[in-house]
Amino acid sequence: MAGEKNGEGKEAKEERKELIKLESGEAEQPFRWSAGTYGSRFLSELRDNCRFVGVRCPCCGRVYVPPRRVCGPCFRELTELVPVSDEGEVITFTVVSFGFVDPSTGRQKPVPYGYAVIKLDGADTYILHYLDETDPGKIKVGARVKAVFAEERSGSMLDVKHFALLRA
Ligand SMILES: [Zn+2]
């Protein structure tokens, strides 16, 4: 063995193996990032008031949710924050049956669950979120939905537990 030829004993080799095991284990990697001025306002409105806010373009009138600083098509700075509804419509959807790790939580959400592109009333852009329905036969494009907020909120999109289908 190469280690023994270099004078390295069996004990030292075992110690080195252990070190490699430790390095390949799980490691906590804490980090922080800024949501920005408008992103922070959007998330704090969810957390503190169970309310969605967007921003309206003074040029074309589009309302962006979540709010952003610039309207791409008009290349104008956006400053007018506006409330939008917690109800909206399903633009498209899927029912997730194959679990994967949610990057926002680091945990796998139990399957199945509904996932939809939603246009809130008063908004011109879409958000992605969970649905409370898992039967694809009961979800329709154009279905009306309403946000259900979590009891405990921390300033994240998961302050909305899911969107509930509104039955006609
Ligand atoms: Zn615009």
Whether the predicted pLDDT of 4 surpasses 70: no
CA of 56 to the centre of ligand 1 (A): 8
For residues 77-104, average pLDDT: 93
CA of 93 to the centre of ligand 1 (A): 27
Whether the predicted pLDDT of 5 surpasses 70: no
Please state the domain count of the chain.
Answer: 1
CA of 78 to the centre of ligand 1 (A): 8
Residues in a beta bridge with 96: 113
CA of 70 to the centre of ligand 1 (A): 8
Per the domain annotation, does 158 fall within a domain?
Answer: yes
For residues 113-138, average pLDDT: 96
- What confidence tier does 24 reach under pLDDT thresholds 50, 70, 90? low
Q: What angle do CA 120, 123, 126 make, to 5 degrees?
A: 65
- What confidence tier does 168 reach under pLDDT thresholds 50, 70, 90? low
Per the domain annotation, does 56 fall within a domain?
Answer: yes
CA of 125 to the centre of ligand 1 (A): 12
- Output b/e per residue, 55-91; b: 16+ Cβ within 10 A: bbbeeeebbbbbbbeebeeeeeebeeeeebebbbbbe
Which of 87, 90, 131 is CA-nearest to residue 109? Answer: 131
Per the domain annotation, does 10 fall within a domain?
Answer: no
- What confidence tier does 159 reach under pLDDT thresholds 50, 70, 90? very high
For residues 20-48, average pLDDT: 82
Per the domain annotation, does 80 fall within a domain?
Answer: yes
CA of 142 to the centre of ligand 1 (A): 25
Per the domain annotation, does 20 fall within a domain?
Answer: no
Are 56 and 65 contacting, i.e. CB atoms less than 8 angstroms apart? Answer: no
CA of 11 to the centre of ligand 1 (A): 69
Are 67 and 56 contacting, i.e. CB atoms less than 8 angstroms apart? Answer: no
Per the domain annotation, does 106 fall within a domain?
Answer: yes
- What confidence tier does 107 reach under pLDDT thresholds 50, 70, 90? confident
CA of 58 to the centre of ligand 1 (A): 7
Q: What is the mean pLDDT of the chain?
A: 88
Can you give the pLDDT at residue 20? 54
Can you give the pLDDT at residue 25? 63
* Owning domain of residue 122: 36-165
pTM for the full model?
0.79
CA of 118 to the centre of ligand 1 (A): 21
Whether the predicted pLDDT of 38 surpasses 70: yes
- Residues with Cβ–ion distance below 5 A, ligand 1: 57, 59-60, 71, 74
Amino acid at 150: A
CA of 64 to the centre of ligand 1 (A): 10
Whether the predicted pLDDT of 49 surpasses 80: yes
Per the domain annotation, does 103 fall within a domain?
Answer: yes
Per the domain annotation, does 159 fall within a domain?
Answer: yes
Q: What is the dihedral of CA 62, 67, 69, 73, to 10 degrees?
A: -30
